[in-house]
Structure 1
């Protein structure tokens, strides 16, 4: 039996790939992973299955995607494939079309976040929704990872006898903090230039428009509390703009840009509050990592975040454009240590159901359908 996993750009062999590849191999499939491995940063020989280079590009109008289409066609012609599991928007489109043309027995697609989400531009709700409705008709198994997408997908018409599933995302090691060689908080805070007694809000991810980091900068400026710091981990094209905003608001010494880091899990042990203020998410891994670390979370009230954070139990959900809501949430947490501990412990319990072992079992059962 041969199965093909299709993804876009691959940099590391992370949980999101393990939960697809490893269950298939346990079921006796020979697995080929088709994706763009040109920027892979680990030992590629450590990947336990076959790999096949495909020149996917995230921009649907990039000419390389034409080449990617023919590369997939060649792969399906060379091998007797019984199952294809497609991921990412471009991989989901090209993979399903090529699999249909090759008359592959079972076509699976995981939606990591439909583009016609609540609050999306009208064109997304029309164009992308129509596209997903059309592709659903050639999809045998559709997997969603958050409740909003699951409810939307219920209205799709899948290929004959097709099945729809809601899983717990890509999975996370909920026991990871017990395996870390943690530095003490004082040493870590000294390293990132934050006072030991300060209240620290932390965000991780690319500094782009979607992540909406400026809302926290504006919120702490409104609070005007010299004991509150905001630490951002990640790079992106908006870094200069965010640094300029912090300076304009007079909080440049309270907003710290760490750039790219490989010690995010350790940093989470040295901060007080996690913030995720995005306009759009699927099921954010960085938020789950913060929950595993036992942090209270202030997040935007959007899909994915709503699946993870319970209002006033694990943190606060606010409109992504409402500075005052975020300001009030921060103010409550920095002034109530017992509340932060209580919320953090609640999150540690909630996130257990998203453990990678659970997700692997879910995927294995889906493959066995």
Structure 2
């Protein structure tokens, strides 16, 4: 019988977006890889895929059905390792895995950003904190992806057998990298931007947490000082039309470019001057790591994920999400100084190295290897699988 691992999350796209190198690595080791999530995506490196009834909302009745589905799958398949992702994926799969865990199955949960955090709402602390703390006792390894979550899990004495800190899901620094000046100008011309445009980039779903309104207001505040400023917003979401209307109302409709859902972020980012991020909450944002790998300075709101990546005054600026005027001032300051942009961008590229795919792959392989039923020396190196 082959060794088997089950990866569980709320939606299958989560694995396509963040975890394909890990799935590939397990296949290279001769393991059978299964996925349990909602959705019908066809994913490479996956032997079996279960489309379960899981929902994001903890109050949705379908989650009772999803729990039963997961329990039956785990009972039938006899997994060596179960690795859970996303809040509801983590809750339901850990509950469903308890009988198997008593028989030796190892259970890993990656917290992509606890819903309770410093400055978080009382409701989130009351709802999510006791659940996560209780479920930690059903976890062999709790993986956190930022320092604040790691310290919280340790100081609050979460009962996981091991608490680990991994530097996110990894950024592909072979795809995301800086461009030479001539290549940047050539790409801008291809995409109908001027060489002297000041391009600010943000890739995020249009929802309340991502807080696009701050960026549009900040651009409006500097539209006279930075007439060639262009805010490039990639993504879709429920607040897209509201954001478009706001840009028109503030007189910057022609300066805000709504790009829709894009699959060529690695082409767009390097031609820009600055990456911006306005979200209220983040675990460890991939969009900022990708921008840093492209050698961009960052202007971002203060939250645990942004503060993990951006050192104020070094590779960008970190500001309170309510301080639109200071956010606008920092953008203006960067628009006026190529030297400042280059210096901060170089620092970004240096900082992001520890978040690269090879580094994260090495950290994950050190977690997996003790539970893989073969000598460590016979295992391939996850670091090589993702370079």
TM-score scaled by length of structure 1 = 0.91
Alignment of 1:184-203 (within 5 A): 184-186=183-185, 188-190=187-189, 193-203=192-202
Match of 1:366 in 2: 367
1:255 aligns with 2:253: no
Distance in 1 (alpha carbons) for counterparts of 2:87 and 2:261: 26
Distance in 1 (alpha carbons) for counterparts of 2:187 and 2:111: 37
Q: Is the 8 A contact 1:5 1:20 kept in 2?
A: no
Match of 1:8 in 2: 10
Alignment of 1:252-331 (within 5 A): 252-331=253-332
Alignment of 1:1-369 (within 5 A): 1-11=3-13, 14=16, 16-26=18-28, 28-38=30-40, 40=41, 44=42, 46-102=44-100, 103-105=102-104, 106-159=106-159, 162-177=161-176, 184-186=183-185, 188-190=187-189, 193-223=192-222, 224-225=224-225, 226-369=227-370
Distance in 2 (alpha carbons) for counterparts of 1:295 and 1:353: 16
> What SS does structure 2 have at the residue aligned with 1:175?
coil
1:129-178 residue CA offsets vs partner (Å, 9 max, x unmatched): 11111111111210000011111111344557x01000011111112146
Distance in 2 (alpha carbons) for counterparts of 1:258 and 1:289: 18
Q: Is the 8 A contact 1:23 1:360 kept in 2?
A: no
Distance in 2 (alpha carbons) for counterparts of 1:34 and 1:205: 25
Structure 1 residues 320 and 230: CA distance shift in structure 2, 3 A:
same
> What SS does structure 1 have at the residue aligned with 2:19?
helix
Q: Is the 8 A contact 2:177 2:270 kept in 1?
A: no
> What SS does structure 1 have at the residue aligned with 2:313?
coil
Distance in 1 (alpha carbons) for counterparts of 2:359 and 2:69: 34
Structure 1 residues 104 and 322: CA distance shift in structure 2, 3 A:
farther
1:96-145 residue CA offsets vs partner (Å, 9 max, x unmatched): 00001333522111100100122221111122111111111111210000
Q: Is the 8 A contact 2:34 2:46 kept in 1?
A: no
Q: CA RMSD in A?
A: 2.3
Q: Is the 8 A contact 2:94 2:107 kept in 1?
A: yes
Distance in 2 (alpha carbons) for counterparts of 1:249 and 1:347: 32
Give unpaired runs (5+ residues) of structure 2: 371-387
Give unpaired runs (5+ residues) of structure 1: none
Distance in 1 (alpha carbons) for counterparts of 2:5 and 2:158: 21
TM-score scaled by length of structure 2 = 0.87
